[in-house]
Structure 1
Amino acid sequence: MTTADLSSSVPYREVTDHNGRLYRIGETDRDIMGRPRWTMVLFPWLGMLGISSSEYAFTSAEDTLHEAHLWDSGHIFWLMGVWVFFQAAVAFPAGQLRESGRLPARYAMFLGALGTILGYLSLAYAPHVVVAYIGFGMFSGIGAGLVYATCVNMVGKWYPERKGGKTGMVNGGFAYGSVPFVFLFTSYMNLGNYEGVLVMVGLICCAVVAFAGWFFKDPPKGWWPAHVDPLRLSDDPKIRRALAKNPPAVKQYSPKEAARTPVLWMMWFCLLCTAGINIFGIAFQVPFGKDMGFAGGIVATAMSLKAIVNGTGRGVIGWISDRFGRRNTLVIVCLVLGSAQFGVLVSGSMGSMPFFLFCSMVSGFGGGAIFPLFAAMTADYFGENNNASNYGMVYSSKLISGLVGSGMGAVVVGAWDYEGAFVIAGSIGIASAFLALFLRAPGRPRPQRRIVPNPQPLGEEMA
């Protein structure tokens, strides 16, 4: 039995709306877990901080790892691609285990903490690159996937009426936590201390994830906050506007039902494209900046700014999407992300450091904003009860985007240089904006076009 199925002595009632969707109302957050629900934004945010360095700071350690282990530089990018592959691969099965009750949220976080420390230990002491692929690529990737899926879906369950901003804030932790480690790996870690630095980082991240996970608890299925009536317009203008722009799903879709809707696979492909661009930027911004002649400190600053804006973008874009709608916001984000790739290329070719930093930040904003948008949109379209599994299916596109953005990105750079790679990335981003225009919630009738009255009613035409 999971915490979502525990009975409560507090009276509650179940109501249905005109679509037949069921809501469980009457219980407050304190009734269920003894504390306010904003703590289920704070602790998931901390959990995301703990896994962020593995993706966003990893390529900053490229030079040291290459010299220390004598690995070919291509291995660094493929290691990241394998990490992203397993991080995305575990999302759907983890969601299934979570929703079936076989993997409580707390234990998922503990397993994620274990995978995090194993990843850094393998980078520090791997006798062969294969050990790094297993320890960092597989174990750390799986651990990060468990943490990511648990944190993102947890906050959506506790804030079903206004999930955009809260989901974005939690998602932002996936970038913020890497900032100090970017400078640490770039400016301080060297051949004399890399083992100690990697172990220290692994222990810190492991402890943060485990601490946050201790406080995790799911609400009951179908739970709705007691102060918000799902059948009436809310008196709170923020809640009313958010629900008007992003109405709740018409029903709680099971994974099988969601998989039969075309829109889920359109979302899958759109995330594949945009996540691939984001990972490409993470993997190649540092080496591109160095090849363009920028100093190591400038490149590290650019990468840190990218991570900061990436995290900020995730939080801000969730708030914006609550006000203006997820799909409309996603279209703009895709345009920004695609255009930024051309800007990074042009700024590097010009040797303009301020322009390079600006385009890097814009790229980071767009790359970070897509993930909370898709997480919240999945719950809007298919409901919160099975969101871990449904978002796991959408997020599984990162299986391919990680390998394409990092590993295949290295192949494209080798074949067509940075110019060809950035042009391709920018074009894909703009094409994704066009695809996003066709995303609509399944089962919800399209708004009817306004009927214009006939200026000559019947009878007058014959007069």
Structure 2
Amino acid sequence: MATTQITTDLPYREVTDANGRTYRIGETDTDIMGRGRKWMVILPWVGMMGISSAEYAFASAEDTLHTAHSWSSLHIFWMLGVWVFFQAAVAFPAGKLRESGKLPARWAMMLGAVGTLLGYVSLAYAPHVVVAYLGFGMFSGMGAGMVYATCVNMVGKWYPERKGGKTGFVNGGFAYGSVPFVFIFTGYMDLTNFRWVLVSAGVFLASVVAAAGYFFQDPPKNWWPPNVDPLRPPDDPRARRALEKNPPAIKQYTPREAWQTGRVSLMWFCLLCTSGVNIFGIAFQVDYGDEAGFAGGIVATAMSLKAIVNGTGRGVIGWLSDRYGRKQCLIFVCIVLGLSQYGIIWAGEMGSLPLFLLFSSISGFGGGAIFPMFAAMTADYFGENNNASNYGMVYSSKLVSGLLGSGMGAVVVGAWGHVGAFVLAGSISLFAGCVAVFLSPPGRDRKGRRLVEPNPRPISREAD
């Protein structure tokens, strides 16, 4: 039976459900940080926009960087792969530091801002490609990883009762912010101004990240909004439907416990496949558009549409997953991403610009929507307290997918051509959808019903 304890000298109370999971209720978002929790959606969204152009607009700068520095195209594509590698590599250790209290959210964002600036400066002034690998690939990638992990996990902590839509919205900033830079790098930047353009972009984007991160604040451990009773179905129909379709974790899993459930490895593999396909499209769609005979400005438009739909798709699929379930939406996204790769081939072979733009946009939707699904699903399966570390384990698949999607993608394109590479990418995404069928929350059956026997734990009192 659920138990409750009211503490008279603290502004909150703790309740424990039948599984022994503790919820801290009574404190409002305004009590904790002096402002509404909506700001912990808006500010992370802004912070995510500040790091997005490094991944989503980088391919648009390839021609200028190739000519200006005499870097080979293969070097440039591997550089993006290295960036993605370090962006993913920092997620788990940063999560551990964040949850231990050694790295406050504000300082994680400041470090991310420094990395962002170093990345653009190195692209502008690197005397050798190795310096660019270090400055952009490593330091900018690590900075972006700090920002990404902090922003995505922040919103899940503040909206534990309906995290899908909010997580998707914040995740969308990782694509939206790149849109103007796709056009700047493609249509404005040239050999006469590339250093000025890159440094200016770095200063501006680093300032955006730092300004947003200055106001970041985590809620207390186990915090739950006081207007939603964690022991009974909520009155708010949106929250009630979201909790019915995506029931909260039966307990707060540590990273070791989460790994032992077997779900992390399945999620890791699914994200490896789908994020690799997404990165491959980002890296090679411009090249394929050029090969198909489309004008450079049109290809830039296609990439911008891809980025816009990518960002919009993250918010839309997050909202849909609150209504229809994370797993169902994840399978749908894998199918859409896979089929869109075949559509891009079809459009390119036909030389049809409208179809190229259409399937590019659909690919952007699928490629973006996978990330909020895994971010929200990780919190649903394993709880919010250790979500930064747990999602860091899942997100670490990008350590491999970035190198496969960009670097190995260049090898496959060289061996099989763009058509063969896009066919392979589509098939990989469809296979990931098949693997996702086997995902289910630990301790629950496929319909969300609890499998374990109730095991109430004594309530521990937390200091304010």
Q: Please report how far the alpha carbon of residue 443 of structure 1 lies from its aligned counterpart in structure 2 after TM superposition.
A: 1.3
Amino acid at match of 2:409: G
Amino acid at match of 2:323: R
Taking the TM superposition and a 5 Å limit, the aligned residue runs for 1:64-463 are 64-447=64-447
Question: 2:12 and 2:310 mapped to 1: Cα distance?
Answer: 40
CA RMSD of aligned residues (A): 1.3
Question: 1:419 and 1:448 mapped to 2: Cα distance?
Answer: 41
Question: 2:236 and 2:114 mapped to 1: Cα distance?
Answer: 42
Equivalent residue pairs, number: 443
Give the match's secondary structure for 2:305.
Answer: helix
Q: Which runs of 5+ in 1 are unaligned?
A: 1-7, 450-463
Amino acid at match of 1:181: F
Give the match's secondary structure for 1:218.
Answer: coil
Q: Report if aligned partners of 2:441, 2:448 keep a CA contact under 8 Å in 1.
A: no
Q: Report if aligned partners of 2:78, 2:407 keep a CA contact under 8 Å in 1.
A: yes
Q: Please report how far the alpha carbon of residue 73 of structure 1 lies from its aligned counterpart in structure 2 after TM superposition.
A: 0.9
Question: 2:97 and 2:9 mapped to 1: Cα distance?
Answer: 27
Change (3 A) 1:307 1:40: same
Counterpart in 2 of 1:4? none
Q: Report if aligned partners of 1:332, 1:433 keep a CA contact under 8 Å in 2.
A: yes
Counterpart in 1 of 2:50? 50
Identity %: 74
Amino acid at match of 2:227: H
Question: 1:440 and 1:123 mapped to 2: Cα distance?
Answer: 44
- Give 1 or 2 for the bigger CA radius of gyration: 1
Question: 1:338 and 1:241 mapped to 2: Cα distance?
Answer: 29
Q: Please report how far the alpha carbon of residue 324 of structure 1 lies from its aligned counterpart in structure 2 after TM superposition.
A: 0.1
Q: Report if aligned partners of 2:241, 2:322 keep a CA contact under 8 Å in 1.
A: yes
Question: 2:321 and 2:448 mapped to 1: Cα distance?
Answer: 23
Question: 2:320 and 2:89 mapped to 1: Cα distance?
Answer: 29
Give the match's secondary structure for 1:23.
Answer: strand
Amino acid at match of 2:304: S
Q: Report if aligned partners of 1:82, 1:133 keep a CA contact under 8 Å in 2.
A: yes
Counterpart in 2 of 1:5? none
Q: Report if aligned partners of 1:10, 1:27 keep a CA contact under 8 Å in 2.
A: no
Amino acid at match of 2:115: G
Per-residue CA deviations over 1:41-88 (Å, capped at 9, x if unaligned) read 010000000000000000100000000000011111000000000000
Question: 1:203 and 1:87 mapped to 2: Cα distance?
Answer: 20
Per-residue CA deviations over 1:374-421 (Å, capped at 9, x if unaligned) read 000000000000000000000000000000000000000000001110
Give the match's secondary structure for 2:217.
Answer: coil
Q: Report if aligned partners of 1:81, 1:405 keep a CA contact under 8 Å in 2.
A: yes
Per-residue CA deviations over 1:136-187 (Å, capped at 9, x if unaligned) read 0000000000000000000000000000000000000000000000000000
Counterpart in 1 of 2:28? 28
TM-score under structure 1 length normalisation: 0.94
Question: 2:279 and 2:318 mapped to 1: Cα distance?
Answer: 21
Amino acid at match of 1:140: S
Q: Report if aligned partners of 1:10, 1:31 keep a CA contact under 8 Å in 2.
A: no
Question: 1:56 and 1:154 mapped to 2: Cα distance?
Answer: 23
Question: 1:110 and 1:234 mapped to 2: Cα distance?
Answer: 38
Question: 2:69 and 2:35 mapped to 1: Cα distance?
Answer: 48
Question: 1:75 and 1:85 mapped to 2: Cα distance?
Answer: 15
Q: Please report how far the alpha carbon of residue 445 of structure 1 lies from its aligned counterpart in structure 2 after TM superposition.
A: 3.9
Question: 1:296 and 1:423 mapped to 2: Cα distance?
Answer: 24
Question: 1:337 and 1:407 mapped to 2: Cα distance?
Answer: 20
Q: Please report how far the alpha carbon of residue 10 of structure 1 lies from its aligned counterpart in structure 2 after TM superposition.
A: 5.6
Question: 2:329 and 2:130 mapped to 1: Cα distance?
Answer: 42
Q: Report if aligned partners of 1:120, 1:202 keep a CA contact under 8 Å in 2.
A: yes
Amino acid at match of 1:259: W
Give the match's secondary structure for 1:24.
Answer: strand
Question: 1:342 and 1:362 mapped to 2: Cα distance?
Answer: 11
